[in-house]
Amino acid sequence: MAWVKAQGEAGGFESLLQAREPAAQLASQQQPEAGHPARVLEAVGEGVMFTSLEHSAHADSLAVLRPRLSKLEKAQALLRAFHYSGRPYDFNFDFATDDELVCTELVYKAYEGDSDRKGIRFPTVEIMGRLAMPANEIVKQFDRNIGTDQQQFDLILFLDGHERENEAQVADLDTFRKSWKRPKWHVLVQDTVLGER
């Protein structure tokens, strides 16, 4: 990739990560849980860290979105994300600083555009006087912009949690688009109050 070489690294993207973010690159090579390699960089209570997909996906629901960006922009976002590895979790949920980060803030900062790159325009809201980006706002934006020139992601997979069966099931695009409208306790009441399924 010409961009990697322009950064002064002839060995490829892995070499660039090693040169710029050696601690993060090393952490990304570990196996944090029994036999499962680190594949996800996320901000969790313990801080910004590499985890396995199995650990990260252990949730009520899971959506996989692919940014509509060039390979170069995705590589630049990944390099920026590696820069935040090891920082503490931001229990103040303050988007104004980046010395500590919350889960969506890591994604926001990694894909933030500037004069050199398009980036992703994420929706933010004010909560208790602070700028924030709840994950549901990303889904809401996706729902509003799908099929327009403002669409920034493609849905790859949506696993929708079903509490009664104690599993997540593959769901369709329409279900994902409507998911931002659910009450936060949806997974607990979906079969009884909402009459789903």
Q: Which residue has the higher pLDDT, 75 or 193?
A: 75
182 burial type by CB count under 10 A (0-12 exposed, 13-18 middle, 19+ buried): middle
DSSP bridge partners of 65? 155
Note the pLDDT of residue 46: 94
Share the mean pLDDT of the chain: 88
Contact 59, 161 (CB under 8 A): yes
Phi, psi of 190 (to 5 degrees): -60, -40
Note the pLDDT of residue 110: 95
- How far apart, in whole angstroms, are the C-alpha atoms of residue 60 and residue 190? 12
- How far apart, in whole angstroms, are the C-alpha atoms of residue 20 and residue 18? 6
Provide, rounded to the nearest whole percent, the portion of the chain with pLDDT above 90: 60
E strand map for the chain: 38-44, 47-52, 62-67, 125-127, 130-132, 153-162, 167-170
Note the pLDDT of residue 193: 45
Phi, psi of 169 (to 5 degrees): -120, 150
b/e burial code for range 69-86 (CB count within 10 A of at least 16 → b):
beeebebbbbbbbbbbbe
pLDDT digits (tens, 9 = 90+) for 139-191: 999 999 999 999 999 999 999 988 777 788 999 999 999 999 988 655 444 45
Both tokens of 27, joined, read: 């952490």
